[in-house]
Structure 1
Amino acid sequence: MDLETVRTFVAVAEAGRFQGAADDLSITQQAVSKRVAALERTLGVRLFTRAPRGAELTIDGRAFLPHARELLRVAERASASVRPGRRPLRVDVLASRSAQSGLMRAFHRAHPEIELDVMMLFDIETAVTALRTGAIDASFRAVAAPGRPLPEDIAAVRVLDEPLQLLTGPAHALAGARSVTVAELVGHRIWMPGIAPGTEWGAYYDDLVAEFGLTLEVTGPNFGSDALLDTIADTPALATFMGEHTRLIWPADHGLRRIPVTDPTPVYPHSLLWHRDNPHPALAALRTHLAARTAGHEAAGTWVPDWVLPRDPR
């Protein structure tokens, strides 16, 4: 279906006259008539009847009009989606209250003129595919080092190392501690039902368990953060890990404790990924913003798996 004929049909319907549509579109009345006739041949119906006061929609024309308007709106959105400078910067984060989301909120405060679309994809494979197809402009992920490389057309830089904290209920054996060492966590049940096999965060926690002999339980359905917090608050035998910059809200009577983990401090390595040929002008602004505002912890006293991307030397 020729969109120009659809656009002309809508113009005639709104103007109520062929000449009025011609004036609005800056074309001749004859051209308007030819376009409407071509659309009628495509659809196999009459769209207008001539009347003393101009052109009136037939019953088929009235039925087609809302769909014609939607076709034009879809065409405009499709065009804008690939027009750098006219479309939002599309960024993938892992969760709405994660450290990654906090980085994007800070970027938005620093650059309110840049329109953003923030979305949440499932895993790194999905994110890389979206980067390569242009569905998104950037993604925050934990990225493998050169031994497990990304595709050559995908660039990545490690932008934030987030310390893990232990989250316990008020009756947990470690609830009163100001900090806990990794060794002190051995033998305690750490419940994380949101870990999915084959994901980059699944690989991170697999290595954490293997390195320090921790007991990580992923049993049971993942009902979301509220259910997790309720269970941790009510179950003295369970604790969970939470990123230092993760922002969650729970009722005051839960009495939950966030306890720093030390000796060493496990840190989750957030990297920014983008397609090397992506021309979106706001992408450079995001990279500059992150380089200026984010910082990793010193290597001494922290732990990451040996497969993660090295930190940016800047």
Structure 2
Amino acid sequence: MDLDLAQVRAFVQTADHLHFGRAAQQLALTQQALSKRIARLEEGLGALLFERGPAGVALTPAGLRLLGPARALLAAGEAAVAAVRREERPVRLDVWGHLFAPLRTLREVLDDPASAAVHAEVGPARDLPAVAAALLRGDSDAGFGRYHPFGDGRDDALAHRLVRLEPVDAIMAAGHPLAHRPALRPDQLAQGRLVLPAAAERLDFARRFAEEFAVPVLPGEANLGFDHLLARIRSTPGGFTLFPAEVPLPDGSGLVAVPLVDPTPLYAWSLLRPSGRPAPAVDALLRACAEAGRRRRWLEYRPERDWLPEADQEQARALRPPRPPGRRGPAAVA
């Protein structure tokens, strides 16, 4: 059958809201008109897509199978219209991990003269699950932050590409017993306590670091921002946290950043996109990231020198460029 995009759009909106009234309002239709479009789609496919009952609306197994391809079909339709009209709308890009300042890297990519043809509208997102949901709904084109597998169907529906591997420092009060060291091994942090900026289940990198190097972890609190986290570090005996090395500390914060070596932990920044959805503008952004990474040596990874969580290692090896001089020379760590 030839699928009608208006019917497909009615299906996707209803699947997103699981409510006919709200879906109809979003599409500027009457609820009756929305129901007719979905009924025609179900008739053409020969399958019910929604269960309608007193408890509400739910997708049937057939509806669940249709949802991913339906989103891809709508995106392809948008791309086809834009190609004919020669329209180039900006990439809708969500970022997460705001305490670690992801916009530092994006600015370097997008401000480069070689990226002049890439246009992006950047918006904040709460966390990785929120970005994944927006991508799968089609509300965003791409996301930027640290990706880790979900362990469910979202992993197949999303594709990610490493953009940058950034060394990680330990951030601690100037009076911390280890603050005078020129560098530290990660296992030496077992003498302190890792202060988390948010709940532990939202911080995959910090959890895996603590497990790998047997570092005690304080329970995470509500994420109340950068200043609140720095105040907690100052007030916690033996407290420290982990930050990518180029995140600037405010003047007069009373904190110091101590490099970690032997091994050097790396924080993996990735660009996330839906799998199988045609998006030339996202492809252009990926190429710009790759070019910026090549020139700035963002993807240096040497397993004998660096540490990455296991989920990041395979892709880091695949993208590893020829070995240049060391990014951060070995330091004597007492």
TM-score, normalised to structure 1's length?
0.64
Tell me which residue corresponds to 1:291. Answer: 290
Q: What is the correspondence of 1:70-219 to structure 2 with a 5 Å cutoff?
A: 83=82, 85-96=87-98, 98=100, 100-110=102-112, 111-112=115-116, 114-144=118-148, 150-197=154-201, 199=202, 202-219=203-220
Distance 2:238 2:157 in 1: 46
| Runs of 4+ with >4 A deviation | 144-150
Find the residue that maps to 2:102 and give its secondary structure: helix
Q: Please, which moves more after superposition, 112-121 or 99-108?
A: 112-121
Tell me which residue corresponds to 1:267. Answer: 266
Distance 1:176 1:161 in 2: 26
Find the residue that maps to 1:307 and give its secondary structure: helix
Deviation at 1:147, TM superposition (A): 7.8
Closer, same or farther: CA 91–258 of 1 in aligned 2, 3 Å = same
- Bigger-Rg structure (1/2): 1
Find the residue that maps to 2:180 and give its secondary structure: coil
Q: Note if contact 1:169-1:236 (Cα within 8 Å) is conserved in structure 2.
A: no
Q: Note if contact 1:155-1:274 (Cα within 8 Å) is conserved in structure 2.
A: yes
Identical amino acids, percent of aligned pairs:
26
Deviation at 1:120, TM superposition (A): 2.4
Amino acid at match of 1:263: D
Amino acid at match of 1:192: L
Find the residue that maps to 1:172 and give its secondary structure: coil
Distance 1:235 1:146 in 2: 32
Closer, same or farther: CA 137–296 of 1 in aligned 2, 3 Å = farther
Closer, same or farther: CA 193–146 of 1 in aligned 2, 3 Å = closer
Distance 2:220 2:99 in 1: 23
Distance 2:222 2:160 in 1: 33
Q: Note if contact 1:168-1:239 (Cα within 8 Å) is conserved in structure 2.
A: yes
Deviation at 1:89, TM superposition (A): 1.0
Distance 1:146 1:128 in 2: 10
Is 1:220 matched up with 2:221? yes
Find the residue that maps to 2:159 and give its secondary structure: strand
For structure 2, the 5+ residue unaligned runs are 1-77, 294-298, 322-334
Deviation at 1:188, TM superposition (A): 0.5
Q: Note if contact 1:138-1:274 (Cα within 8 Å) is conserved in structure 2.
A: yes
Deviation at 1:96, TM superposition (A): 4.4
Q: CA RMSD in A?
A: 2.9
Tell me which residue corresponds to 1:36. Answer: none
Task: Number of aligned residue pairs: give it.
Answer: 230
Find the residue that maps to 1:262 and give its secondary structure: coil
Amino acid at match of 2:315: P
Deviation at 1:141, TM superposition (A): 4.0
1:131-184 Cα shifts (integer Å, max 9, x gaps):
122211111243447987754342222221122111111111111111011121
TM-score, normalised to structure 2's length?
0.61
Closer, same or farther: CA 204–149 of 1 in aligned 2, 3 Å = farther
Deviation at 1:125, TM superposition (A): 2.8
